[in-house]
Structure 1
Amino acid sequence: MSPPDTLVTGATGFMGRWLVAELLSAGRPVAVTVRGGPARAADLRAWLRAHDVSDQRLTAVAADVTRPGLALAPEDETRLESVRDVFNTAGVYRFGLGRDEARPVNVDGAVNVLRWAAARPRLRRLVHISGCRVGAAEPPSEHDLAGLYRRLGAYEASKREGDAAVRRAAAEQGIPLTVVNPATVIGHSATGESGQYLGLAGLVERLWSGRLPALPGSRHTYVPVVTADHLARFLAAVPEHDRGPFRAHWVLDDATPELPELVALLARHLGLRAPRVLLPAGLVRRLPRALTGAEPESLTFISEDRYDTSSADALAGAAGLAHPPVREALRRWAGRLVADLPGLGRSAPSAAGPAAWLAALLAPVRTRPVLVAHSAGAAPALRHAHAHPGRLAGLVLVSPHFLQRRPPWHLRAAVLAGPLLRTVSGPRLARALLGPGTTAGPALESAVAQLRRPGVARRTARRLDRAQRQAERAELRALTATCPVPVRVVAGEHDPLVGDALDVPVTIVHGAGHHPELSHPAQVAAAANAGVRPG
């Protein structure tokens, strides 16, 4: 294997893994720093393979960016002597951080990475990931820092402090530096896959759960976005195209709709009503959080500011890159955030039937995945496996309804009377769904919230009624027995399988009811990871 010519810090994070995938796909030998033991490196390799990216040219080394020299072992220092390009994607991104939590990575860690890069004999460029608003702000002085942390919160304040510290250290040491200031990063343009659920994603969550009665900002509020795959391609191209001691790029899609239009677009896609009331961000900041549901730190990103993207556009043009259509990317991202069967749970109704919907969902997938389906989702999954046997490696059916007894009357009644579920049937429903001794915790409360969305209870009741028809159950049992791909069934101990046993592996989750993925997620994950191998 060729020695690595690239190092990515923060490679197990949201943006880091997309960047690593892009670099490896381009044939680059890549090293990554991993904190937290071999399991984190194994998780990254598994993610890459699941995305059809070979990890043969990947080198993982144990490191800690919060310590000088990244705390690398001597043998790893030797292995990384060939590194030319360093990408720092490490960062702590979370609202509600304390200053002592944010600074070690976002400030000290950023400087530690720069100093380590400065010692590389073949260094070509250090690429530091910052943020749109961070890069557009004036560097804070030491005198201003305390006020900055109070006013903005530890996340944004630490990013601003770290940005200024990196620029200053690079100038002092003569390090070729590019600072990339991305907008809000949404999911992959083709699949919608994200993995990050803060910021704009939190707003989408409040939208579909009916907790967004008004929007903060004005009709010209602008929260630009960029897709994860475009940003990864842009980052990978930076060392090939940037020259000189310092460059800075604002990477965002100028076609992003202004916030009210963006939310209306997503609301239509999710089958919801968009909020029409706009409240100034300053007013929302003064209202109780229990009333607004808004994270106070997120309101600092609500503005009408625009950003100069000319340098990023020039680099993208030279590299042959173009933003994918942003409106379609937004729809796919939002749909992935709230994925469920169309019209049920969190998802909007679809004109396409379940078969067409599932085929479209899996169309961008380039691997042969094991498809995991729960309850009513087992029916379209089985039919998809029969229609496209070459696309799947196997099926894991969790609580397949057609292999289990008819739902108890209080479950059917609770679904039909969705708004009354919590007060009338909550405890008994919790036992039916999750198992004896289980209380109605956050998982069940989330399910209740979905049944209260317009039309969901009615559509769910209709689906339950169809699922209990004898002809439907017999057809699905036959499809399971004759499935062209291997099948594993997972069922809760208190929601047992009924009828004649099928010749497929079965995993029983002890203590679970109809929703073992909610009450016993680790056991279900282990069964899914075991795939369809007998055992």
Structure 2
Amino acid sequence: MSESRDAVLITGAGGYLGSRLARRYLESAKQQVILWLHAENRAELEQKSNALREALGPAAHNADLRGGDLCAPEPFADIDPGEVSSIVHCAAVTRFNVKKELARKVNVDGAVKLYEFASGCKGLERLALASSIYACGLRQGVISEEALVDKPAFSNHYEWSKWESERRLQEDFDALPWMVLRVATVVAETARGQIHQYNAFHNTLKLLFYGLISLVPGDRETPLYFVTADFAVDALAAALERGEHRGIYHICHTQDESMTLGGLIDTAFSRFTLDSDFRERRILKPLFCDEESFRLLADGVDSFGGDIVREGLGSIVPFAPQLFSRKSFDNQRLKKVMDVYAAPDAGELVSNACDYLASTRWGRRLADAA
């Protein structure tokens, strides 16, 4: 280990954004980089370490891979706190349908264990918590880059867990040099639409493409906030390098730069119509409905529907209340720390993502070809 006490610790380094941020740090070669992976035992750690090294390529040679379980009493016991000058906490369960107990154990209690470890890092200069723009819950109107003091209502336990992990940091560990990075929904690698990881956004489009959903919950005019992985990593890196202590940054675009729910459905059907299989099925565009009607539909499908429908709806239902909640995220602080801030055309981004999903059949054709 380095004796300079200038190592950056990235938790959740095997995750979608964590691994990309790890690559950025490793390629810059400015600091010793400790990559922490979720692993319940040594065999799992070895397996995940090998997979991450392969994914990172040559850059992995400069990485110090460690691991642990956020549900364990001391998940960071094998890391010397005296070595660490910066921490980026990305480790979390990020599914909207996560159960409350798991969200509490991993996202809240696990974060507190990280904060306690950070309190012992005497040379700590920065602790960044990767959060979500939906830590604001069902609040409407302008959402500023500020602490969410009053507890809002939430769509799901994931949102609650991110709000609670922010609250614990700001109230119980305020002496730490903290910052909060609230990230929007990542829908593609770049504006060209390539997709390497699927989430509720992609699952919803899959149901639409195969004609498995006749109703969509929400208000057509509700804005949706999408980013690319490239933008998210650029923004995260900029905030980490130039952001202020106790700064909160929205890793997202503005309402004017974003698409509405109605725009998403219209764009998706317009692009899917270019696919011959989709045209042959003569699928009708779904109708918008209220939340209660959608839940009744989902309950019926849960009892009698197929696995693909249950799986898809399982990721939509917990997020459905957000589709009625109009909010406008401020990102002025983020813009100030980025050398170049540029939002892709939202319609073009979604069009390209839809084209990629349809042409690869949600990655299945790529897997078959391999």
Match of 1:156 in 2: 159
The whole-number CA distance in structure 1 between the counterparts of 2:362 and 2:18 is: 29
SS, match of residue 171 in structure 2: helix
SS, match of residue 211 in structure 2: coil
Q: Deviations over 1:429-468 (max 9, x none)?
A: xxxxxxxxxxxxxxxxxxxxxxxxxxxxxxxxxxxxxxxx
Amino acid in structure 2 at the alignment position of 1:261: G
Match of 2:319 in 1: 298
Of 40, 46, 53, the match for 1:38: 46
Of 304, 314, 323, the match for 2:336: 314
Q: Deviations over 1:24-53 (max 9, x none)?
A: 23334421112321111111111122xxx6
Amino acid in structure 2 at the alignment position of 1:97: V
The 1:26/1:270 distance shift into structure 2, 3 A limit, reads: farther
The whole-number CA distance in structure 1 between the counterparts of 2:357 and 2:260 is: 21
The whole-number CA distance in structure 2 between the counterparts of 1:284 and 1:121 is: 52
Of 263, 266, 287, the match for 2:265: 263
The 1:97/1:269 distance shift into structure 2, 3 A limit, reads: same
Q: Judge conservation of contact 1:9–1:87 (CA < 8 Å) in 2.
A: yes
RMSD: 3.0
Q: Judge conservation of contact 1:170–1:176 (CA < 8 Å) in 2.
A: no
Q: Judge conservation of contact 2:239–2:249 (CA < 8 Å) in 1.
A: no
Q: What is the TM-score when the length of structure 2 is the normalising length?
A: 0.78
Match of 2:26 in 1: 24
Q: Deviations over 1:193-228 (max 9, x none)?
A: 444423212111111111232332122111211111
**Post-superposition, which runs of at least 4 consecutive aligned residues in structure 1 deviate over 4 A?**
1-4, 136-141
Q: Judge conservation of contact 1:253–1:323 (CA < 8 Å) in 2.
A: yes
The 1:190/1:22 distance shift into structure 2, 3 A limit, reads: farther
Q: Judge conservation of contact 1:267–1:274 (CA < 8 Å) in 2.
A: no
Match of 1:108 in 2: 109
Q: Judge conservation of contact 1:186–1:333 (CA < 8 Å) in 2.
A: yes
SS, match of residue 56 in structure 1: helix
- Offset at 1:372? 7.6
* Structure with higher strand content: 2
The 1:267/1:19 distance shift into structure 2, 3 A limit, reads: farther
The 1:290/1:337 distance shift into structure 2, 3 A limit, reads: farther
Q: Judge conservation of contact 2:215–2:294 (CA < 8 Å) in 1.
A: no
The whole-number CA distance in structure 2 between the counterparts of 1:167 and 1:339 is: 45
- Offset at 1:12? 0.8
The whole-number CA distance in structure 2 between the counterparts of 1:54 and 1:346 is: 29
SS, match of residue 134 in structure 1: helix
Q: Judge conservation of contact 1:111–1:169 (CA < 8 Å) in 2.
A: no
The 1:329/1:5 distance shift into structure 2, 3 A limit, reads: farther
Q: Judge conservation of contact 1:224–1:253 (CA < 8 Å) in 2.
A: yes
Q: Deviations over 1:152-210 (max 9, x none)?
A: 44322222222221221232xx1121111111111211564444423212111111111
Q: Deviations over 1:477-501 (max 9, x none)?
A: xxxxxxxxxxxxxxxxxxxxxxxxx
2:100 paired with 1:99: yes
Taking only the aligned residue pairs, the percentage that are identical comes to 23
The whole-number CA distance in structure 2 between the counterparts of 1:274 and 1:186 is: 24
Match of 1:353 in 2: none
Matches within 5 A, 1:84-233: 84-135=85-136, 138-139=148-149, 152-171=155-174, 174-189=175-190, 192-233=193-234
> Mean Cα displacement is larger for which, 208-217 or 101-110?
208-217
Q: Judge conservation of contact 2:156–2:319 (CA < 8 Å) in 1.
A: no
Q: Deviations over 1:115-159 (max 9, x none)?
A: 212222221211111111214665567xx9xxx6xx744322222
Match of 2:289 in 1: 279
- For structure 2, the 5+ residue unaligned runs are 40-44, 140-147, 303-308
The whole-number CA distance in structure 2 between the counterparts of 1:338 and 1:17 is: 27
Q: Judge conservation of contact 2:193–2:356 (CA < 8 Å) in 1.
A: yes
Task: Compare relative contact order (CA 8 Å, sep 6+) and give the higher one, 1 or 2.
Answer: 2
SS, match of residue 123 in structure 1: coil
2:338 paired with 1:330: no
The whole-number CA distance in structure 2 between the counterparts of 1:120 and 1:346 is: 43
The whole-number CA distance in structure 1 between the counterparts of 2:20 and 2:284 is: 32
- Offset at 1:69? 4.3
Q: Deviations over 1:45-86 (max 9, x none)?
A: 11122xxx621221101233334542422xx32xx6332221
Q: Judge conservation of contact 2:216–2:294 (CA < 8 Å) in 1.
A: no
Match of 2:306 in 1: none
The 1:24/1:328 distance shift into structure 2, 3 A limit, reads: farther
2:55 paired with 1:47: yes
The whole-number CA distance in structure 2 between the counterparts of 1:373 and 1:96 is: 29
Match of 2:248 in 1: 248
Q: What is the TM-score when the length of structure 1 is the normalising length?
A: 0.56
The whole-number CA distance in structure 2 between the counterparts of 1:201 and 1:97 is: 17
Matches within 5 A, 1:488-499: none
Q: Which has the larger radius of gyration?
A: 1
Q: Judge conservation of contact 1:83–1:123 (CA < 8 Å) in 2.
A: yes
The whole-number CA distance in structure 2 between the counterparts of 1:9 and 1:43 is: 16
The 1:313/1:281 distance shift into structure 2, 3 A limit, reads: farther
Amino acid in structure 1 at the alignment position of 2:59: S
The whole-number CA distance in structure 1 between the counterparts of 2:171 and 2:358 is: 42
The whole-number CA distance in structure 2 between the counterparts of 1:346 and 1:14 is: 17
- Offset at 1:291? 4.9
